[in-house]
Amino acid sequence: MNSPLAERIRPKNLSEYLSQQHLVGPQGSLTSQLNSGMLGSMILWGPPGTGKTTLANIIANESGRPFYILSAVDSGVAAVREVIEKAKKSDTLFSTKNPILFIDEIHRFSKSQQDSLLGAVEKGWVTLIGATTENPSFEVIPALLSRCQVYVLKPFTREDLDSLLKRAIKEDKILSKKKITLKEIEALIRLSGGDARKLLNILELVVLSVKEEKVKITNDLVMQKVQKNTVLYDKTGEQHYDIISAFIKSMRGSDPNAAVYWLARMIEGGEDIKFIARRMVILASEDIGNANPNALLLANSTFQAVTTIGYPEARIILSQCAIYLATSPKSNASYNAIGEAQRVVRQTGDLPVPLSIRNAPTKLMKELGYGKEYEYAHNYEGNFVAHEFLPEEIKGTTFYKPGNNPKENSLKNYLKQLWKDKYDF
**What digits encode the pLDDT tens for the residues 2-11?**
688 888 988 8
Q: Does the structure show a pLDDT above 60 at 1?
A: no
Tens of pLDDT, residues 399-425: 888 989 998 889 888 888 888 777 666
**Residue-range domain boundaries for the chain:** 20-152, 158-229, 238-326, 354-419
pTM of the model: 0.56
- For range 78-86, the mean pLDDT: 82
Q: What single-letter amino acid sits at 103?
A: I
DSSP letters of 139-153? HS-HHHHTTSEEEEP
Other beta carbons less than 10 A from residue 173's beta carbon: 9
pLDDT band at 284 (very low <50, low <70, confident <90, very high): very high
Q: Write the pLDDT tens digit of every residue in 305-330.
A: 998 888 889 999 999 999 999 999 99
**How far is the C-alpha of 36 from the C-alpha of 39, rounded, in Å?**
8
Task: Specify whether the CB–CB gap between 72 and 109 falls below 8 A.
Answer: yes
| Closest listed residue to residue 315, CA positions, set 267, 255, 261 | 267
The Cα–Cα gap between 196 and 192 comes to 7
Residue 396 has pLDDT above 80, yes or no: yes
Q: What's the CATH architecture for 158-229?
A: Orthogonal Bundle (1.10)
Other Cβ atoms less than 10 A from the Cβ of 18: the count is 17
Per-residue model confidence (pLDDT) at position 103:
92
What is the maximum alpha-carbon separation in the chain?
Answer: 89
Backbone angles phi, psi at 423, to 5 degrees: -95, 110
CATH C-level class of 354-419 = mainly alpha
pLDDT classification of 90: cutoffs 50, 70, 90: low
Q: What does the alpha-carbon distance between residue 4 and residue 60 come to, in Å, rounded to a whole number?
A: 22
Domain 238-326 in this protein, CATH class: mainly alpha
Comparing C-alpha atoms, which of 357, 352, 288, 355 is closest to residue 321? 288
C-alpha–C-alpha distance, residues 97 and 77, integer Å: 25
Distance, in Å, from the CA atom of 417 to the CA atom of 160, rounded to the nearest integer, reads 59
| Each residue's pLDDT tens digit, 157-166 | 889 999 999 9
- The average confidence (pLDDT) of the chain is 86
Architecture of the CATH domain 20-152:
3-Layer(aba) Sandwich (3.40)
231 falls in which pLDDT band (50, 70, 90)? very low
Closest CA to 204 of 9, 410, 404, 36: 9
Distance CA(114)–CA(101), nearest Å, equals 13
For residues 138-156, give the mean pLDDT: 90
| Burial status of residue 13 (CB atoms within 10 A of its CB: 0-12, 13-18, 19 or more) | exposed
